[in-house]
Chains A and B, each alone.
Chain A
């Protein structure tokens, strides 16, 4: 039998989950409500579902392009961030570098800077370099801004990998690259999954840099959604449809990687 305390925790958990899910439920609901039902003063509970808002997002707001831009920029940035983070966090975790702790904290502290402080110089630099409103420019910013946290997070996971296992690999004749690729990478599965999720989600939702740097060609989802609010009008239905479409890839990514987060936590490396 479960103790009363345990039951109380269960109830609390359900309540909290409901609290978080409620707005999502509302957004999904709004995205398929007819505009009249949305704008009605009283809540409308029964209505004819419509795909109108989704169509509107694509037809009027070129949502397909924003979706593609976001996909290209965020996936590339996440991938590059992860590759770089993998190597540098390994170096900071393992190699006998003087002041590795200090270094990783310094790197992380870059992340504490307010975004605007970085956005302005980037804007000026990119102007000179002709990289305003380009995919490459956005990827560089996201990698640069996301890397510190990714390195710091991944380093923590890597320090938990027993040294013996790597040493066994060295004696087995593996070089550094092979050790990272064939031993460290599979063994840091959970760490990589967590780091990749954080990086992806941050980049996917990022607004400030995209606002400064993109105009038309490289416009990302959050920026495009913001355009659905103009001086006279807030297109609640279209926004909701767009938000749902923005949410879906995130949910997919988290679901895909979550499996790896759990797997590997109980791997029997030692004893």
Chain B
């Protein structure tokens, strides 16, 4: 188990990269740090690895306070975005150095590396140097180097981002398979939400050095803790609409949009609805009427962009309501439709703070 306690990092130049993070990572868990570039994911990972010194807070690994322990003594293995293989050593030497340094005999280390190589399908590459290997092969060697150690935890910093799309998907599946096989605790950093949602047991969404939400992928997607998370996750992104809270629940331009999970009160709210939860009906029968301006087919679905009729600005984050429809649903560009929303899937946010109202966190 890894515990981050009020972990803080201010770099020498004054950049506050990580601001008081509290996080408990369970044994065997695959947890992903997700967030936009510069939000402090890498810094957090490097703090856990011991490559950066914390300027505040503590790090515990298996009940041991490792805040001031050398990286080599933390029993964690890291997979770098650049792979960071030793270019002058063969793949086998790359994989066994960390074993022989710790006193294992060359023979035993090689045997262990062979076992791991078999799992990763890289037996043929063991006597080659990194310079002779392709990106995907280097990636596997780097993974193998981490695996031979059987560490407490793997730390991976965007390990797939240097691979081309096909290979990336293949390695993603491979990572998932390996994790389900061995259940080694993994802290994974990515800015790619697909990777995060597919791989993780839990996702940590970060922004500006602050944890925004920690939850399983379904929760993150369906019950975002605030507007930032709601907006960051999902593609096309969520629709934010200007609403107000009444005793009957949330309304848009005076029309109730549903039960709103029982949230009652008064004042402004932001109503968040994912594109796939936008429904079309006959004009006049929805919450408001709109005109289908254009569509974007994308594989099995088609995105419809609907301009709201009337003068009031209803959509907060763009000019259209975006609906995700089945590719074969008949729609006509220029047609008027009544827009409504799948009631249980509506998310409410405080219009001022952006915090979710529906799930109360």
Q: Does B196 lie at the interface of the complex (its beta carbon under 8 Å from any beta carbon of A)?
A: no
Q: With A and B bound together, what is the CA distance between A165 and B84 in angstroms?
A: 5
Q: Does A113 lie at the interface of the complex (its beta carbon under 8 Å from any beta carbon of B)?
A: no
**Given the known A-B contacts A172-B97, A172-B101, A174-B101, are A267 and B80 also in contact in the complex, defined by CB atoms under 8 Å?**
no
Q: Does A271 lie at the interface of the complex (its beta carbon under 8 Å from any beta carbon of B)?
A: yes
Q: Which residues of B contact A264 (CB under 8 A)?
A: 87-88
Q: With A and B bound together, what is the CA distance between A164 and B81 in angstroms?
A: 9
Q: How far is the CB of A116 from chain B (nearest CB, A)?
A: 43
Q: With A and B bound together, what is the CA distance between A186 and B131 in angstroms?
A: 15
Q: Which residues of B contact A183 (CB under 8 A)?
A: 86
Q: In the complex, how many residues of chain A place their beta carbon closer than 8 angstroms to a beta carbon of chain B?
A: 26
Q: Determine whether the beta carbon of A178 is less than 8 Å from that of B83.
A: no
- Interface residues in A195-231 by Cβ distance below 8 A to B read none
Q: With A and B bound together, what is the CA distance between A271 and B158 in angstroms?
A: 12
Q: Which residues of B contact A167 (CB under 8 A)?
A: 49, 51, 71, 78, 80, 84
Q: Taking chain B's interface residues, is the majority helix, strand, or loop, or is none over half, making it mixed?
A: loop
Residue interface bits A253-271, CB-to-B below 8 A is 1, else 0: 0000000000010111111
- Interface residues in B9-66 by Cβ distance below 8 A to A read 12, 49-51
Residue interface bits B114-140, CB-to-A below 8 A is 1, else 0: 000000000000000111110100100
Q: Determine whether the beta carbon of B71 is less than 8 Å from that of A171.
A: yes
Q: Determine whether the beta carbon of A267 is less than 8 Å from that of B162.
A: no
Q: Does B76 lie at the interface of the complex (its beta carbon under 8 Å from any beta carbon of A)?
A: yes
Q: Determine whether the beta carbon of A187 is less than 8 Å from that of B162.
A: no
**Given the known A-B contacts A171-B49, A264-B88, are A96 and B80 also in contact in the complex, defined by CB atoms under 8 Å?**
no
Q: Determine whether the beta carbon of A172 is less than 8 Å from that of B72.
A: yes
Q: Does A162 lie at the interface of the complex (its beta carbon under 8 Å from any beta carbon of B)?
A: yes
Q: In the complex, how many residues of chain B place their beta carbon closer than 8 angstroms to a beta carbon of chain A?
A: 33
Q: Determine whether the beta carbon of B130 is less than 8 Å from that of A173.
A: no
Q: Which residues of A contact B83 (CB under 8 A)?
A: 270-271
Q: How far is the CB of B54 from chain A (nearest CB, A)?
A: 16
Q: With A and B bound together, what is the CA distance between A169 and B78 in angstroms?
A: 10
Q: Determine whether the beta carbon of B98 is less than 8 Å from that of A164.
A: no
Q: With A and B bound together, what is the CA distance between A225 and B233 in angstroms?
A: 79
**Given the known A-B contacts A171-B77, A172-B72, A187-B88, are A267 and B131 also in contact in the complex, defined by CB atoms under 8 Å?**
yes
Q: Does A170 lie at the interface of the complex (its beta carbon under 8 Å from any beta carbon of B)?
A: yes
Q: Determine whether the beta carbon of A170 is less than 8 Å from that of B71.
A: yes
**Given the known A-B contacts A164-B80, A171-B49, A173-B101, are A96 and B12 also in contact in the complex, defined by CB atoms under 8 Å?**
yes
Contact with A173, one of B82, B86, B88, B102 (Cβ below 8 angstroms): B102
Q: Determine whether the beta carbon of A267 is less than 8 Å from that of B71.
A: no
Q: With A and B bound together, what is the CA distance between A172 and B85 in angstroms?
A: 11
Closest to A172 in B: B98
Q: Does B70 lie at the interface of the complex (its beta carbon under 8 Å from any beta carbon of A)?
A: yes
**Given the known A-B contacts A162-B84, A187-B87, A271-B83, are A171 and B76 also in contact in the complex, defined by CB atoms under 8 Å?**
yes
Q: In the complex, given contacts A170-B72, A267-B130, what are 8 additional A-B residue pairs having Cβ atoms less than 8 angstroms apart?
A: A162-B82, A167-B71, A168-B145, A169-B86, A172-B145, A174-B72, A182-B97, A183-B86
